[in-house]
Amino acid sequence: MAGAAAAAIVLAACGGGDGDTTDVPAADRTATSVAPVSDADNSSAALPEAFATATPLDGGTFDAEALAGNDLVVWFWAPWCTTCRGEAPEVAEVAARYADQLQVIGVPGRGELDAMQDFVDDTGIGAIRQLADLDGSVWQSFGVYGQPAYAFVDDDGEIELFVGGMGGDALADRIDELLAD
């Protein structure tokens, strides 16, 4: 039930692939603690499984195993989402500020590779590692059904999912909390 409510909120934020989107009102944004992405005994070791089908947008390689045991922010976006486009420069700035302390990964979905790459080029987020989720399995692994959304993963593999747009100051504050734990 909570998942359906969260999905409805998110779909209202960036509903439809025609570029027609509306920002999620602050009162409707949600933060939810969710179970690790796997029921395995060592959830941080299972985290790489969530990225198994992701395709590096730059055509390079991606070592998902290196994520286990580290703090991580996963930003879920779509190339046609105007809210995502609006927050992208702030996400890039915050990611650069914290680059020595944690990794920020973008996971674009619900679009074509060319449109995803155009979004990266247009918004200046090329320094953030982008893993295209063409079949939606990464989004599903994290319980994400719309965009934008953020998964804050601590070094134990515990995940807090935030659904909706997040400004740079709020993102930095949440990263500070993640690093303090």
- Profile the chain (181 residues) by mean pLDDT over runs of 10 residues: 38 42 41 41 58 88 87 97 97 98 95 96 96 94 94 92 94 97 83
Q: What residues contact 170, with CB distance under 8 A and at least 6 apart?
A: none
pLDDT at residue 86, as a whole number: 97
Q: What is the pLDDT of residue 40?
A: 36
pLDDT value at position 10?
38
User: What domains lie within the chain, and their CATH numbers?
Assistant: 2-16+30-180 (3.40.30.10)
- Residue 75 is predicted with a pLDDT of 98
| SS3 track for 134-158 | CCCHHHHHCCCCCCCEEEEECCCCC
Segment (H or E) for 47 = helix 43-50
The whole-angstrom separation of Cα 47 and Cα 34 is 13
pLDDT for 172 equals 98
